[in-house]
Structure 1
Amino acid sequence: MAELARSLVPKPSLDTILQEVTTAAVDLIPGVDTAGILLLERGGKFSSVATTSDLPHQLDTLQVTFNEGPCVQAALSDTVVRTDDFRLETRWPQYSPAVVEIGVLSGLSFKLYTADRTAGALNLFGFAPNEWSADAETVGTILAAHAASAIITTQARSQLNAALLSRDRIGQAKGIIMERFGVDAVRAFSMLKQLSQEGNVKLTDIAQRVIDSGPA
């Protein structure tokens, strides 16, 4: 009964966990005035999530537009990217002047190890120049690891649910074919695979078409 009670306790959603991470960054790291998480997907799509204000999304948009900046660099390559003063920053000739004009003068970004198709970074910004300490980097690294773990777990759960749904669809389609053509399960599955290969269509999509066609 105790195990059942624990299993019924609602688990925090991914959005809740990521929001807690960015809020903690502002609360725990001196010099951080706003924070957010940038997720980059293949094809150039991006999203700003768990922002503590509207500013991180604005900064993410600038970086994606210019294709340069600490958040993009952290998401795609470096583990930690720090800027003590954007007025003196030369690595990003378009982005740095733009953020200074907005009023952001310092930043600290941490790579999120997410998945093959998604890159991410935890991004912290300050309205004043700041010599980021080793403690700031340590706390930020821990928070980034927590965020990445939540993202990976959610992705794995989503993939598992998709796999289970695909299995159910294929099983249902096999049953329809077995009844319609009087064949066994092995032959029914072979027929589904053949249709998939000949039509260059995913097996689950072929299964759904069979299901939609209904029983014989």
Structure 2
Amino acid sequence: MAEMARVIQQEHGSVEGTLLSITAEAVRLIPGADHAGITLVVRNHRIESRGATDELPRRVDALQEATGQGPCFDTVWKHHSVSVPDMAREDRWPQFAPAASEAGVRSMLTFRLYTHHDHLGALNLYSDAVHGFDDADDDVGVLLATHAALALVAAEQEHNFESALATRDVIGQAKGIIMERYDLRADAAFAMLVRLSQDWHTPVTDLATKIARREPE
């Protein structure tokens, strides 16, 4: 687990890199896990399939979104974790389970990721064998999901911070161009930028980007 934490820390700042490290470490640390992926559930039960080790987790996420049911939804909204010992005999999700079994899932283990209130998620482990997971795998999975959630939140916060800095910079560049072109003070230039944004129904950041990238006439 200490080695896993170090590996994930190396990807700090890259959300996608963090997710890929989490799933790779899940497959490495849990013997029964042949595949892994992270499902993020956003507004209106829309699913984002992230950090998949291969195509199988993405196919399963697509099935869950299409049917509106499955272990990921139960993990996010009802339970801290969900175990599916034999997908072919599973009856909790009558539309999802047969399709997942046909896609190649034999057993599955999911863990809730505690991120933030409007962006929930689950760490999903898949086995190519029926009854592919045991109690020890469940214990390791809980610890892994806890570390994963912390790393994911940290990476998202750093990404948001960097995006905010980039937004501030591009608005500053656009203000500078307007100030020079129209001989305005900084506050008047920003007011013009906001007014143009409203008149053209364009977000301030998008408009600022267009202005900042425009070559001088």
Same structural fold, with TM-score higher than 0.5 when normalized by the shorter chain = yes
SS at match of 1:78: coil
1:11 matched residue in structure 2 = 10
2:199 matched residue in structure 1 = 198
CA-to-partner distance for each residue in 1:120-156, whole Å, 9 max, x for gaps? 22111231226742x4333112212222233323322
1:155 matched residue in structure 2 = 156
Cα pair distance change 1:19/1:205, threshold 3 Å:
closer
Q: TM-score, normalised by structure 2?
A: 0.75
Q: TM-score, normalised by structure 1?
A: 0.75
Cα pair distance change 1:100/1:206, threshold 3 Å:
closer
1:82 touches 1:132 (CA, 8 Å); kept in 2? no
Cα pair distance change 1:156/1:169, threshold 3 Å:
same
2:5 matched residue in structure 1 = none
2:131 matched residue in structure 1 = 129
Q: Which aligned pairs between 1:30-179 and structure 2 lie closer than 5 A?
A: 30-42=31-43, 44=46, 46-51=48-53, 53-102=54-103, 104-115=105-116, 118-126=119-127, 127-129=129-131, 132-133=134-135, 135-179=136-180
**TM-aligned CA deviation for residue 70 of structure 1:** 0.6
Q: Using the TM superposition, name which of 176-185 and 164-173 deviates more.
A: 176-185
Distance 1:35 1:65 in 2: 20
**TM-aligned CA deviation for residue 203 of structure 1:** 1.5
Cα pair distance change 1:77/1:199, threshold 3 Å:
farther
Distance 2:74 2:186 in 1: 51
Cα pair distance change 1:202/1:27, threshold 3 Å:
closer
**TM-aligned CA deviation for residue 116 of structure 1:** 5.7
2:32 touches 2:137 (CA, 8 Å); kept in 1? no
**TM-aligned CA deviation for residue 27 of structure 1:** 4.1
Give the total of aligned pairs. Answer: 205
**TM-aligned CA deviation for residue 26 of structure 1:** 3.5
Based on CA coordinates, which of the two structures has the bigger radius of gyration? 1
Distance 1:97 1:163 in 2: 45
**TM-aligned CA deviation for residue 55 of structure 1:** 2.9
2:33 touches 2:126 (CA, 8 Å); kept in 1? yes
**TM-aligned CA deviation for residue 76 of structure 1:** 4.9
1:31 touches 1:128 (CA, 8 Å); kept in 2? no
**Alignment gaps of 5+ in structure 2:** 1-8
| RMSD of equivalent CA atoms | 3.1
Cα pair distance change 1:39/1:181, threshold 3 Å:
same
**Alignment gaps of 5+ in structure 1:** 1-9
Cα pair distance change 1:11/1:87, threshold 3 Å:
closer
Identity of aligned residues (%): 41
AA of the residue aligned to 1:46:
E
